[in-house]
Amino acid sequence: MAKSLHHHFQHHCKPPHLPISWNKSCSALRGSRLLMSMVNRHRHVRHKNSVSDMVGGAERLIVDAAVELASHGHKVHIFTAHHDKKRCFEETLSGTFPVTVYGAFLPRHIFYRLHAVCAYLRCIFVALCVLLMWSSFDVIVADQVSVVIPLLKLKKKTKVVFYCHFPDLLLAQHTTVLRRIYRKPIDFVEETTTGMADLILVNSKFTASTFANTFKRLDARGIRPAVLYPAVNVDQFDKPHAFKLNFLSINRFERKKNIDLAISAFALLRSLEEDALGGGYDKRLRENVEYLEELENLADREGVSDQDEHFGIVPLEAMAAHKPVIGCNSGGPVETIKDGVTGFLCKPIPLEFSLAMARLIRDPEMAVSMGGEARKHVSESFSTRIFGQRLNRYVIDVTEKKRE
């Protein structure tokens, strides 16, 4: 239900690339190079007569990957179709790794149409520039737009790792006959080219399950993605000096983010009687049970139930900042929020969210305790250090397979 504002690399065109010189402590890989291919796509939100570039968790992951691989001794180089130095993650300006832009002149849409086709063309252009103008790499890490994989594999002895944030065909609309005709070849290409990667990574077990159910031909061939959770830099969040209870929902302004749920829950919380704050829902009371069923049916009719966030970086950021999180009990949040320990997992209806909020109001000490547990949980399982170690291991493994 929530996502944070992130970096500059964008969402419809993604193949960045990084040359990497492996850590000298790994003698088997000494002197080898890695190209991390990440040409990012662009998420477009139409606002009057303009298109606004959006950034999110997928873009943040790419930068974290580059930073962590560089810290492990790899020589990293990012290639992208867009890099606005006035609106980007500061790590891309620090000089730790170069960022090269190809194809910024290419359109991102044609009269606010054909976003996917334009994204593919931008990514293909970047991939061709890398293919023709740069020497070979040991490993290329690409994300989000799989159409570049067969091009990048033309580099001799190069392995390609593909990070699938979520199947794009599930994010696209297929509401009309024309849209289905338009998307049919794109969806086919996505599945076919994704299967060409030497290693596929996804951001959660939920996405891995969705991957198998969506790309049935790949699943039938025994192609299974590995899970590499996104991460947050816990060191950037200081422990609060004082506690003041505030409820914050961080999202892009998109319908799928279900911001209505947060607003409705807060409105319901304010309208509750004091005795409701002391108890609330009681399954022994028939009216409570019947009304809860009515609310669940309403959520189903309005299409707000079980939105299934693919992963959700905001809950991790909040927990790293010593804050408990209230999230939906489906999708990625189930893998990051420990119910009753670091926050609450609720059905996606306002009543359940408002009752969880009421519990935190009623017991501020519990909120503080949960915040401490949340910070510990993120540090142990979702820090950039842990992320870097796991990604480094995947890259080394795929390179060693190449050498066999």
**pLDDT score at 114:** 85
Identify the band that residue 148 occupies on the pLDDT scale cut at 50, 70 and 90: very high
The per-residue pLDDT for range 386-401, each reduced to its tens digit, is 999 999 999 999 988 7
Distance, C-alpha 28 to centroid of its chain: 32
Instruction: State what percent of residues in the chain have pLDDT above 90.
Output: 39
Give the DSSP H or E segment for 127: helix 115-133
Tell whether 289 is covered by a domain: yes
CA-nearest of 96, 66, 68 to 80 is 66
**pLDDT score at 198:** 95
**pLDDT score at 282:** 57
Range 14-32 burial, b when 16+ CB lie within 10 A, else e? bbbbbbbbbbeebeebeeb
- Which segment, 10-14, 163-167, 268-272, is predicted with the most confidence on average? 163-167
- Determine contact, residues 349/307, Cβ cutoff 8 Å: no
Tell whether 21 is covered by a domain: no
Return phi, psi of residue 170, to 5°. -80, -20
CA-nearest of 30, 3, 35 to 18 is 35
Q: Same domain for 370 and 388?
A: no
The per-residue pLDDT for range 318-362, each reduced to its tens digit, is 999 999 999 989 888 999 999 999 999 998 888 899 999 999 988
For residues 313 and 57, give the distance between their C-alpha atoms in angstroms, rounded to a whole number: 6
For residues 374 and 4, give the distance between their C-alpha atoms in angstroms, rounded to a whole number: 18
Identify the band that residue 246 occupies on the pLDDT scale cut at 50, 70 and 90: confident
Give the DSSP H or E segment for 161: strand 159-164
Mean pLDDT (whole number) for 167-188: 83
Q: Same domain for 31 and 152?
A: yes
Identify the band that residue 284 occupies on the pLDDT scale cut at 50, 70 and 90: low
The per-residue pLDDT for range 90-112, each reduced to its tens digit, is 898 888 889 999 999 998 889 88
Give the CA dihedral 188, 197, 88, 44, nearest 10 degrees: 0
Residues 6 or more apart whose Cβ sits within 8 Å of residue 86: none
**pLDDT score at 288:** 62
**pLDDT score at 252:** 65
**pLDDT score at 112:** 83
Q: Same domain for 111 and 192?
A: yes
The per-residue pLDDT for range 256-277, each reduced to its tens digit, is 677 778 778 877 887 754 444 3
Return phi, psi of residue 274, to 5°. -60, -35
Identify the band that residue 69 occupies on the pLDDT scale cut at 50, 70 and 90: very high
DSSP code, position 330: S
Q: Same domain for 192 and 326?
A: no
**pLDDT score at 197:** 96
The per-residue pLDDT for range 21-52, each reduced to its tens digit, is 332 223 223 233 444 444 333 332 223 232 23
> pLDDT averaged over the chain?
78
**pLDDT score at 316:** 92
Tell whether 216 is covered by a domain: yes
Q: Same domain for 354 and 388?
A: no
**Number of folded domains that form the chain:** 2
Range 269-303 burial, b when 16+ CB lie within 10 A, else e? beebeeeebeebeeeeeeeeeeebeebbeebeeee
Identify the band that residue 281 occupies on the pLDDT scale cut at 50, 70 and 90: low
- Which segment, 132-146, 163-177, 183-197, is predicted with the most confidence on average? 183-197
Give the DSSP H or E segment for 395: helix 384-403
**pLDDT score at 227:** 96
Q: Same domain for 98 and 111?
A: yes
Identify the band that residue 56 occupies on the pLDDT scale cut at 50, 70 and 90: low
Quick one: CA dihedral 169, 175, 179, 185, positive or negative?
positive
Instruction: State what percent of residues in the chain have pLDDT above 70.
Output: 74
Q: Same domain for 172 and 300?
A: no
pLDDT of 63 strictly over 50? yes
Tell whether 1 is covered by a domain: no
Which segments of 27-114 does DSSP mark as H helices, in order?
57-71
Q: Same domain for 346 and 276?
A: yes
Tell whether 263 is covered by a domain: yes
Mean pLDDT (whole number) for 371-382: 96
The per-residue pLDDT for range 294-319, each reduced to its tens digit, is 656 655 544 444 456 778 888 999 99
Tell whether 2 is covered by a domain: no
Residues 6 or more apart whose Cβ sits within 8 Å of residue 161: 139, 140, 141, 142, 197, 198, 199, 200, 201, 394, 395, 398
For residue 189, the domain's CATH number is 3.40.50.2000
**pLDDT score at 159:** 92
For residues 23 and 43, give the distance between their C-alpha atoms in angstroms, rounded to a whole number: 35
Q: Same domain for 148 and 189?
A: yes
Tell whether 278 is covered by a domain: yes
Q: How far apart, in Å, are the Cα atoms of 84 and each of 57, 199, 209? A: 17, 30, 35
Q: Same domain for 392 and 277?
A: no
What is the pTM assigned to this prediction?
A: 0.76
Least confident of 135-149, 250-264, 357-371: 250-264
Identify the band that residue 167 occupies on the pLDDT scale cut at 50, 70 and 90: confident
pLDDT of 292 strictly over 50? yes
For residues 275 and 45, give the distance between their C-alpha atoms in angstroms, rounded to a whole number: 43
The per-residue pLDDT for range 193-242, each reduced to its tens digit, is 999 999 999 999 999 999 999 999 999 999 999 999 999 999 988 887 77
What range defines the domain where residue 259 resides? 236-381
Tell whether 342 is covered by a domain: yes
Quick one: CA dihedral 114, 117, 123, 128, positive or negative?
negative
Q: Same domain for 55 and 106?
A: yes
Q: Same domain for 99 and 143?
A: yes
